[in-house]
Chains A and B, each alone.
Chain A
Amino acid sequence: MNSIEVDWKILVGQIVNFAILFFVLKALIYKPFLSLLKTRREKIEEGINKSIEADKELGKIGEMKVDLERINEEEKKKILIKADEEAKKRLEEANKKAEEEKSAVLAKAHKEAEAIKELEKDATRKSTIENAFNLTEKLLKENIDEKKGKQIAEDFLSKLKI
């Protein structure tokens, strides 16, 4: 067995050998690998952050949807109530108007009936007077007895009945 003797040339050669290996691997493998890992980590973090943001946005949209639905429901109810009130009001107005028109028509009809009645009365009166004049004239022209007079009056009355 010999003692340990360090050959400096071999030692330096071994150092150079390892240095070449280290710097080549560092430049061609580790640097790109670490940068790839970094890029990938950033992409994953970005993706996760975007996903969290999207979840938040989705939550907000959900809340907005619920709010809108609630507002829509309230609006719908309000519109329905308003429409109902309007319909009632219009119905009342229409009823009132119809009542008024009915009253007006009835009053007009009544007035017209009264006018016709008056006209009829006038016509009857005129006819009666005319007939009375005719009868009197006839009686005065003819020398009539009691029997004949009766006959003439009855004829006259029968005519009147018609």
Chain B
Amino acid sequence: MNIHIALTGEPVFSFLGINFTNTFVISIFITIFMITFFLFAFRKREIVPGKMQNFFEFILETVFSIFDGMTGDSKKTEEIFPLAATLFVFILLNNLLEVIPGLGVFPFLRSPSSDLHFTLALAIFSMMFIHFTAIKKLGGVEYLKKYIKLESPIMAFVGILEVLGEITRTMSLGIRLFGNLFAGEILLMIVSFMIPYIVPLPFLGLEIFVGFIQALVFSSLITVFYVTTTAEEH
């Protein structure tokens, strides 16, 4: 019996010249679900919250305090919090999809996190957001000084390395998430294929943990990159 493993998602349908893969479709569904859920959860905005509002605010405040601990500056946390929190919840939901029976590295249903397009897209968008915010905050000249250093040839080379560093940061962010989730899905699939009963359970637990950790790692790294990129040079 052969196991079909594809590195990217399987095309489901084509629209306007774009091949909608299974991972892309699922990520669109998750986007719609998240928007609907958040709008429902935060439909009431009272100064003195009710039980429901209090519960959802508690979750967001906990996430906020985690990122606040990383930035050490509540103003910067307020700036990066929307991106970091969205990334955390979005990646977590996508990661947890892989433990749902029927979803895996199958031709039709597949967790978006195990597709490089999805993880790279998140990394590219996040890094673009960070750099645009840095230009807005520091000003174009100050921002360029981070990468174009004309004090000496060595410093100029350091500037080039900084640019390369930014590209590799983006790539590593995307590939790290993809690698972890893809490997996890393959592991689950192989274990389930070899011994279908009971044995896959610990691996499912492990994958839930890995999914949570990877979501946290991704959003934490984005927070740290934001702090370092928007920091003024002395």
Interface residues of A (CB under 8 A from B): 1-7, 9-15, 17-22, 24-26, 28-34, 36-37, 39-40, 43
> Which B residues between 18 and 53 are near A, CB-CB below 8 angstroms?
18-21, 24, 27-28, 31, 34-35, 38-39, 42, 45, 47
Q: How far is the CA of A32 from the CA of B53 in the complex (A)?
A: 13
Which of B47, B78, B90 contacts A34 (CB under 8 A)? B78
Which of B28, B57, B83, B129 contacts A17 (CB under 8 A)? B28
The 3 closest A-B pairs by CB, nearest first: A14-B121, A30-B82, A26-B82
Q: Nearest Cβ in chain A — how far from B129, in angstroms?
A: 8
- The answer to whether A15 touches B8 (Cβ under 8 A) is no
Which of A3, A5, A15, A26 contacts B124 (CB under 8 A)? A15
Answer yes or no: B208 CB below 8 A from chain A CBs.
no
- The answer to whether B31 touches A17 (Cβ under 8 A) is yes
Answer yes or no: B118 CB below 8 A from chain A CBs.
yes
Q: Nearest Cβ in chain A — how far from B215, in angstroms?
A: 14
- The answer to whether A15 touches B121 (Cβ under 8 A) is yes
Nearest A residue to B21 via CB reads A10
- The total number of A-B Cβ pairs within 8 Å is 103
- The answer to whether B124 touches A13 (Cβ under 8 A) is no
- The answer to whether A18 touches B31 (Cβ under 8 A) is yes
Q: How far is the CA of A36 from the CA of B45 in the complex (A)?
A: 7
- The answer to whether B47 touches A36 (Cβ under 8 A) is yes
- Using Cβ atoms and an 8 Å threshold, which residues of chain A touch B83? 22, 26
- Using Cβ atoms and an 8 Å threshold, which residues of chain A touch B34? 21, 25
B104-130 vs A: 1/0 string, CB under 8 Å?
A: 000000000000111011101100010
Given A25-B82, A30-B81: A9 touches B18 (CB 8 Å cut-off): yes
The DSSP consensus for interface residues of chain B is helix
Given A1-B5, A40-B47: A18 touches B24 (CB 8 Å cut-off): no
A-B contact pairs, 25 of them (CB 8 A): A2-B6, A6-B117, A7-B8, A9-B17, A9-B18, A10-B9, A10-B18, A11-B117, A12-B121, A14-B121, A17-B27, A18-B90, A18-B121, A18-B125, A21-B34, A25-B34, A25-B35, A29-B39, A30-B85, A32-B42, A32-B45, A33-B45, A33-B60, A36-B45, A37-B61
Q: How far is the CA of A61 from the CA of B115 in the complex (A)?
A: 71
- The answer to whether B7 touches A24 (Cβ under 8 A) is no
Given A6-B117, A9-B19, A22-B125: A34 touches B42 (CB 8 Å cut-off): no
Answer yes or no: B168 CB below 8 A from chain A CBs.
no
- Using Cβ atoms and an 8 Å threshold, which residues of chain A touch B228? none
Answer yes or no: B62 CB below 8 A from chain A CBs.
no
Which of B17, B24, B35, B61 contacts A21 (CB under 8 A)? B35
Answer yes or no: B172 CB below 8 A from chain A CBs.
no
- The answer to whether A4 touches B8 (Cβ under 8 A) is yes
- Using Cβ atoms and an 8 Å threshold, which residues of chain B touch A26? 82-83, 86
Given A14-B24, A21-B90: A3 touches B7 (CB 8 Å cut-off): yes
Sample of 9 more A-B contacts, CB < 8 Å, known A17-B28, A29-B42:
A4-B7, A6-B116, A14-B24, A14-B120, A15-B124, A18-B27, A22-B83, A25-B34, A32-B42
Which of B24, B31, B64 contacts A20 (CB under 8 A)? B31
- The answer to whether B82 touches A11 (Cβ under 8 A) is no
Q: Which of B21, B64, B81, B117 has the most CB of A within 10 A?
A: B117
- The answer to whether A33 touches B42 (Cβ under 8 A) is yes
Which of B7, B19, B86, B117 contacts A14 (CB under 8 A)? B117
Q: Nearest Cβ in chain B — how far from A26, in angstroms?
A: 4
- The answer to whether A15 touches B82 (Cβ under 8 A) is no
Nearest B residue to A18 via CB reads B125
- The answer to whether A4 touches B116 (Cβ under 8 A) is yes
